[in-house]
Structure 1
């Protein structure tokens, strides 16, 4: 979670804990972030409106999206959607936290199902 308001981020992390493992963004641990993406069936970078124009985050998101097929971004309040990876999900700046959580829950479920199917197909092909 890349949020300007730490309390808001911690609240969201707590509220998604039943379906996802959330962490506050640590810009000094970018390499760890990239290495951990592949350890999960799906990985998300959730960015608030304050950080939606951060070019370093955009570059990181594009790299992760290119390197890992089950990585996605959920960007809140971005005016220019073209700067983020093509498969990013954009939500209005004024969206309620419940809307954000519901969308993240639904999209995570779909992504996990796709990941499971693909991994299963690869296992079958390798037999």
Structure 2
């Protein structure tokens, strides 16, 4: 069960790019994306939290596990992520004319995973 869940979570970013650039980006970036993945992490840890409660017969063990999860998630989302991606500079206004038309480039091998 956990292997299947891991596979689904690993495929999620790839599948989201098919939703559309704006919808996919809005779903997984910024504060909304952080909240979404934090909530998913808490929901998917419920079986572990229940096992901790049954093993230790107290609410303290699951509470400590949630605090550790929140701390690690916060470290990843607010320290490691920004450190890896670097500072984000505001986008300059596009120059008027044909160069201001947005273009999308797709890698040559992108279609390979769509054919069955």
Please report the TM-score for the alignment, with normalisation by the length of structure 2: 0.35
More helix by share: 2
Decide which structure has greater strand share: 1
If the length of structure 1 is used for normalisation, what is the TM-score? 0.32
Q: Whose Rg is larger?
A: 2
